Amino acid sequence: MGSLGAILKNPVDIYPLLKLKMAARHAEKQIPPEPHWAFCYSMLHRVSRSFALVIQQLDTELRNAVCIFYLVLRALDTVGLFLLTLCFTNVDALEDDTSIPTDVKVPILIAFHRHVYDHDWHFSCGTKDYKVLMDQFHNVSNAFLELGKGYQEAIEDITKRMGAGMAKFILKEVGDVGCCNAGLKDEACHQIAQASISPVFLNTEGEILCLRDTLDSGMQVESIDDYDEYCHYVAGLVGLGLSKLFHASGLEDLAPDSLSNSMGLFLQKTNIIRDYLEDINEIPKSRMFWPREIWSKYVNKLEDLKLEGNSVKAVQCLNDMVTNALIHMDDCLKYLSELRDPAIFRFCAIPQIMAIGTLAMCYNNVNVFRGVVKMRRGLTAQVIHQTKTMDDVYRAFFDFSCMLKSKVDNSDPNAIKTLSRLEAAQKSCRESGALNKRKSYIIRNEPKYNSVLVNRPTFDYIVYYFRVFLWQQIKLLGMVHFLSSRCALMDDDWLHK
């Protein structure tokens, strides 16, 4: 639920953390009785507990469609990752794994969208939970076939585009040798080369639907255009599918492509910035997602950014990357402002607030090259708890952008560009009128740059925490039995009085 030290330091986190904990437990109990649906939701909890929690706010019909969409893309991701293993690993080293067929070929990525209609299809690859998903994929197919036609068409279309895009990207990276290792035929190469992928759409949350692991081995991004294209492949097409699913539900209009694309790029770029150290230290081969066009202005090799002697240049490069991501902020606000359904709005808005908050914490922060920089769990719980309307989004974007703006050093090479993009987003927030309705969504009551979300008074949280803590201790120490005669009427409802 969060470390005790963090909770004591930030008592405002207590109530949201408790709500998040209860919501997670509730989500785990919402498993349908039908065997194939039970498998799908149980698998969803195993491969992404956070996403399993987020989709609970959607109505049943749309929730089922999003669940299957997620699992289908996870399965496609697993196949793609296996293909890359064949492309970049000595094939002889794989012969001892009896679960891996020797005649696997890239064309399976192109045909994957057809397998969702096949009750009997499965493909043995992957590890741990993903191997279970692939071995029992027929359960996903059975659930898919029970969805409405509009949902099926959306999932099939995006799976087809994603498969072709992944295969095309793999070929671009591995070259002829990789094609030979994968056993790829000329006809399949031609199909992939002709694949047409439109630059569109949003992702829900990087951690949840990110397919970046599929395209990691041996990859180096050269230009900013390549960077945007990569983010499209691993996040944009997921967003296209979600937009189509929202539209198929009858709850939303189909969002403009340009706005949806910015939603996906904003999330994906945030993840890439935050995960620099993890990616560069990946074994056996580093993942290099930061574009050479940016990092080559500061160091000779991307991995040099983590050297302490390059700290100044590393932070300048980091700020350049953050500034690149900020260009999508205004589009994200426009996209969210057009959503009508409250559940879909929260589903889309929460990850975007998390993204701007994460960028604010990463900016000008050398710790990105030393360890993990992210929003504390309590702050995440507050975002989930408090984000209900577009006014909440405007306030959060405004305040996190103010936090980031306060960290801009005028001597930074990109300071002018950074400030310009922040001020453009802040202007949209001011013009919304939301900032005049109540106090700031974030208050700065800690050291500079360390902000906390607030809504109810801190004293209320302290009292609530004390009552919960006291009641739990009574239970844990077995005092309930001792006091039962005197406290017969006392129960958990006491906490809510």
* Catalytically annotated residues: 230, 274, 287, 347
Q: Are 174 and 88 in contact (CB under 8 A)?
A: yes
Instruction: Find the distance separating the first CA and the last CA of the chain, reported in whole Å.
Output: 23
Q: Between 14-29 and 458-476, two packed helices, what is the crossing angle to 10 degrees?
A: 50
List, in sequence order, the alpha helices (H) in 10-148: 14-29, 35-47, 49-54, 60-88, 107-115, 128-135, 137-144
Residue type, position 261, single letter: N
Closest C-alpha to 321, from 274, 285, 279: 274
Residue type, position 486, single letter: R
Closest C-alpha to 191, from 200, 179, 201, 199: 179
Residue type, position 408, single letter: V
The CA distance from 152 to 147, in Å, is: 6
Name the one residue in this structure whose structure tokens are 């047409």: 196
Q: How many CB atoms lie within 10 A of CB 3?
A: 11
Residue type, position 163, single letter: G
Which burial class, exposed, middle or buried, applies to 35 when counting CB atoms under 10 A from its CB (0-12, 13-18, 19+)? exposed
Read out DSSP for 289-305?
-S-HHHHTTT-SSGGGG
Closest C-alpha to 233, from 296, 289, 301: 289
Residue type, position 59, single letter: D
Question: How does DSSP classify residue 153?
Answer: H
Closest C-alpha to 268, from 225, 218, 207, 348: 207
The CA distance from 229 to 231, in Å, is: 5
Q: How many CB atoms lie within 10 A of CB 222?
A: 11
Containing H/E element for 354? helix 342-362
Q: How many CB atoms lie within 10 A of CB 97?
A: 11
Q: Are 165 and 233 in contact (CB under 8 A)?
A: yes
Question: How does DSSP classify residue 431?
Answer: H
Q: Are 434 and 394 in contact (CB under 8 A)?
A: yes
Percentage helix, strand, coil for the chain under 3-state DSSP, each rounded to 5: 70, 0, 30
Question: How does DSSP classify residue 453?
Answer: E
The CA distance from 161 to 277, in Å, is: 31
